């Protein structure tokens, strides 16, 4: 997809316009997908993360008039975001001001949270954390 937003619903056009204004090279990683309502099309973006990142790609989707931001692990999804909130999160992730922490206990996913750079994730006994960021190493910590 280029910066041409042909076929996108109005919400997706607004988001893609702002996204590609901030990150013009990302249009090469975009596609148009059918929304779950079947009557409109949304933006699906999968931008490769830099080498050495814990994640393979950053995903942005605009289906159903909301923005979803995640890395390639579905446990990193933050959905239901408005345009401004999503852009702030994307900017923070790309600038390494924030990462997404996935907290587990054994094989059980407990929750995910956005953490600021340098912030410590509080764990209780038996919990582990994996950090996903634009360039985060993804080291796990176990308490």
Length of the chain: 143
CA pair distance 81, 18, nearest whole angstrom: 14
Calculate the alpha carbon distances from 117 to 62, 87, 121, 136 in Å: 27, 18, 11, 10
How many DSSP H helices and E strands does the chain contain? 2, 9
Residue 22 is predicted with a pLDDT of: 96
CB 44 within 8 A of CB 31: yes
Say whether pTM exceeds 0.75: yes
Residue 29 is predicted with a pLDDT of: 95
Cα dihedral value 120, 125, 127, 132, nearest 10: 10
Closest CA to 129 of 107, 101, 98: 101
pLDDT 10s per residue in the chain (143 long)? 444 566 788 999 999 999 999 999 999 999 987 666 666 688 999 999 998 888 899 999 998 889 999 999 999 999 998 999 999 999 999 999 999 999 999 999 999 999 999 899 999 999 999 999 998 665 544 43
Return the structure tokens found at 52. 């050495």
Return the structure tokens found at 4. 């041409």
């Amino acid at each position: 997809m280029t910066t041409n937003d042909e076929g996108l619903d109005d919400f997706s056009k607004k988001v893609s316009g702002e996204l590609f204004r901030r990150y013009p090279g990302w249009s090469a990683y975009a596609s148009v997908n059918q929304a779950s309502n079947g009557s409109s099309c949304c933006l699906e973006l999968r931008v490769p993360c830099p080498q050495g990142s814990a994640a393979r790609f950053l995903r942005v989707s605009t289906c159903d008039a909301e923005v979803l931001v995640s890395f390639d692990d579905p446990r990193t999804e933050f959905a239901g975001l408005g345009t401004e909130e999503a852009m702030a999160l994307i900017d923070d992730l790309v600038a390494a001001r924030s990462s997404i922490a996935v907290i587990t206990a054994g094989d059980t996913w407990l929750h995910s949270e956005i953490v600021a750079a340098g912030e410590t994730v509080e764990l209780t006994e038996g919990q582990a954390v994996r950090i996903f960021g634009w360039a985060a190493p993804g080291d796990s910590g176990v308490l």
